[in-house]
Amino acid sequence: MKRIAAFIIDYFIFLIIYTIVLFVFVFFNKDFWLGNSRYIFTAGRYLIAMGCILLYVYFLLLDLFDQFDVGKRVTKIRILMRNDQRKRILVFHSLLKLICSLIWPISLAFYAATGKMPYDRWLGITVKEED
């Protein structure tokens, strides 16, 4: 369960960053203030897409620079991957982590039942607890 706790910590850090980005976007955009409903609907879809892209980039940066991962440092775990083709694995790991976070009830049920994320076996990932 430390892995889920690490993910939740990292996700809330992302939400703080994303909220600041949204605030800046909405604050400096006149069409939101004017109440143009067509624009708000269109911008809302783009903000959702932008959130998914930013979340993927955030996950990728956390995978590339392991020392910045606050969630893993707080819970004292380390994700170990095969060293062969590590960069390619990191790209897929971040993408699969994004997909699993979008369908989080299914991912959480799978993790609770097996103790592993669905993509661990595919990417050769193991979790090591540090002292």
pLDDT value for 16: 92
Classify residue 35 by its DSSP letter: T
| Nearest-angstrom CA–CA distance, 89 and 93 | 6
Q: How many domains does the chain have?
A: 1
pLDDT value for 31: 61
Q: Do residues 124 and 92 make contact, with C-beta atoms less than 8 angstroms apart? A: no
| Nearest-angstrom CA–CA distance, 72 and 95 | 18
Overall residue count recorded for the chain in this entry: 131
**What pLDDT digit, counting tens, does each position of 1-44 carry?**
788 888 889 899 999 988 888 888 777 766 665 666 666 667 77
Domain of residue 69, residue span: 2-129
Sign of CA dihedral 34, 29, 49, 11: negative
**What pLDDT digit, counting tens, does each position of 68-120 carry?**
788 888 888 888 777 766 777 888 888 888 888 888 888 889 888 988 888 88
